[in-house]
Amino acid sequence: MNVGAKGLVACLVAASLAAAIYVLVGLHDVIATPPGRQASGADAAADREVGGVPDVSVLLRTADPAHGARIFGQCAACHSIGRGGPDLDGPNLYGVLGGPVGRRRSRYAYTAALRQTGGIWDFGRMDAWLAHPRKVVPSTSMSFAGLPDARDRADVIAYINAQGSNLPIP
């Protein structure tokens, strides 16, 4: 078994284990949105959407990086995020925001499709990527389906930003 296949097996085992723990132990209660975080009625709609599309720059102003860290547990099956951490089946994400798409980690084998996408990982691009990676890069090798909740994505982005990027929140 080559190194790539071993990594894929490790990622699949880790993801399966995380899913089993989530169901058996009830981590959904741990990952749940913190109390008092969401406004109600028209205020919630105004905070969460601009022109019918969730606006990550508005959501980031009240994002909860600690909640994002708990959600990032799903990502940790394939990504490390600590300074100097290893590339796993996905690249290490320390300092990713503000860095180039598909070229930041010189030793990681990004797909040609991601390399050709180009640009910089800003808040909006990361929000779109976390929402549905295959809509951003249809031939990505990342198997993650995405985070449908805009608030959860903002929390994860705030957490990622606090891990070495520290870009100013708009």
What are the structural domains, with CATH classification, of the chain? 3-165 (1.10.760.10)
What backbone torsions phi and psi does residue 158 show, to the nearest 5 degrees? -60, -40
- How far apart are alpha carbons 4 and 76 in whole angstroms? 17
- How far apart are alpha carbons 4 and 88 in whole angstroms? 10
- How far apart are alpha carbons 150 and 132 in whole angstroms? 11
| Predicted TM-score (pTM) above 0.85 | no
What backbone torsions phi and psi does residue 120 show, to the nearest 5 degrees? -120, 145
Amino acid at 99: G
| Maximum distance among all Cα pairs of the chain, rounded to whole angstroms | 55
- What distances in angstroms separate CA 105 from CA 26, 56, 90, 165, one per listed residue? 35, 25, 10, 14
pLDDT in tens, 116-169: 999 999 999 999 999 999 999 999 989 899 999 999 999 999 999 999 999 999
> What integer pLDDT is reported at residue 107 of this predicted model?
85
User: Are the CB atoms for 79 and 95 separated by under 8 Å?
Assistant: no
